[in-house]
Structure formats: C-alpha cells, structure tokens
Amino acid sequence: MRLVITGPPGAGKGTQGTRLASHFEIPHLSSGDLLRRIIASGTDSAFAQSARAINDGRMVSDETANALMLGELAEPEAAKGFVLDGYPRTAPQARTLDGFLGGRGEKLDAIIALQVSEAVVIERLSNRITCPSCGESYHALLSPPKVAGVCDECGFAGLSVREDDLPERIVVRLGLYAERTKPLLGYYESRGSLIAVNAEGTEEEVFARIVETLVH
Ligand SMILES: [Zn+2]
C-alpha cells in the first residue's frame, strides 16, 4: 500500500498516518519527524540547515524536500509500501514523486485528504500540547501527559500550548494551508487518486473510515 496522507493542521494526519503504517505494516514517513531527527543529530549538513529553516517557519524548496523524502523512499523498508505525511506539499513535488515511483514501476494507491471544519480544528489545536523535543502530542483535556508539563515519551519538562495553536493564529494557518495546497490537491484530483475522508469524531472512527475507503 503506497499512501499519501494530507490535511490541515489539527486534522490528525500524524496520528492516522501512524495507525495506517502499523495496520498495513509499512513505514510512516513523516517529513516533520525526519527534520526533527536531522536537527537532533546536530550535524551541519545542507539538510540540517534547511531543517532549521523549516523549524523557523520557512518553506523548504521543492529540491530539498524531494531530496530528503526520495532518499527515505529509496531505503529497503519502503520497497513494499509507505505512508507519506508532510510530503509532497506542492504540485511540482507531487510530479517528481510520481516520476520517481514510475521509474520503479510503482504508483500511489491513494491520497487521503482529511476533511475537518474550522471549529473542530480550533477545539483540537487550542487544547493541543506538543513536545518540542520528540514531537509527541497531547490533548490538555482528553489525553494529558501523566505529569503536568512533562512529556511521557521523552521526559522533556516544560510542555505548553504552542503560540501557533492559539485560536486567532489557527484561523490564519488554515487560510494559508488552503491556499498553498489547492494546486497539490487539484493535481491529485485530476488524476483520480484523491480520497476525501471526514476526519471529525474519535481517532478510531476516523481510522475506520480511512480503512473502509482503501479496501473498497
Ligand atoms: Zn517528548
């Protein structure tokens, strides 16, 4: 199964990407996780510099994004399938990815576009606590860390709601997301591989809907 999962901030891409990966026994290739690993490794390669740029909120070039993610796809673990999360982000990246896969006689099975209303995103994100160290996220009310302010996964102390996740910032981010991804989603739609999935409700409900669309 070769999948791309997309969706606005707060749609649950990371969570659903991880679940899909374990369900189909394929790697979950998240550009965000990959960049965090590169930054944590402390090297000063060109990749590490771009990784820091993205961390500062800047967009990475198509060239760098392609080099990073196609490098991951060339690994033996990704030979039988994968879930891509955070890549491709632009129509040119999508075309490069198609070319790369085509060269191996492969193609994407589906692009899952998670759909969620602005109100739901605001509710989710304004209660989201993300660990800046390992990327783990918590919901302040529904799934808080065991010890307030401390990451269950890596022990990082000082967890808090990101400034980016405050309601007024969320509305701006959603607008930017819609504008930036329109050409990408249009590209996949024209190829008939885009599957829109309602991403409201519990994690289990959303996951069941995704799997349902993939097996039919
Ligand atoms: Zn952590």
Of 52, 95, 169, 173, catalytic: 173
Cα separation of 32 and 136, whole Å? 12
Instruction: Tell me, in angstroms, the distance from the centre of ligand 1 to residue 152's CA.
Output: 7
Active site residue 191: no
Q: Read off the DSSP letter of residue 41.
A: T
Cα separation of 76 and 90, whole Å? 26
Instruction: Tell me, in angstroms, the distance from the centre of ligand 1 to residue 159's CA.
Output: 9
Of 19, 89, 124, 209, catalytic: 89
Q: What confidence score (pLDDT) does residue 55 get?
A: 60
Q: What confidence score (pLDDT) does residue 101 get?
A: 97
Q: C-alpha distances in angstroms, 24 versus 20, 83, 122?
A: 6, 9, 31
Of 2, 19, 124, 128, catalytic: 128
Q: Read off the DSSP letter of residue 200.
A: -
Domain 2-116+194-215 maps to which CATH number in 3.30.465.10, 3.40.50.300, 3.40.50.150, 3.90.550.10?
A: 3.40.50.300
Q: What is the largest CA-CA distance in the chain?
A: 49
Tokens representing 17 are 């990407």
DSSP string, 141-162: TTB--SSTTB-TTT--B-----
Q: What confidence score (pLDDT) does residue 166 get?
A: 86
Cα separation of 184 and 88, whole Å? 8
Residue partners of 72: CB distance under 8 A and separation at least 6: 27, 29, 34, 78
Q: Read off the DSSP letter of residue 11.
A: S
How many residues comprise the chain? 216
Tokens representing 88 are 């491709």
Q: What confidence score (pLDDT) does residue 91 get?
A: 95
Active site residue 173: yes
Q: C-alpha distances in angstroms, 66 versus 34, 41, 161?
A: 13, 20, 31
Which regions of the chain are under pLDDT 50? none
For the chain, the structural domain boundaries read 2-116+194-215
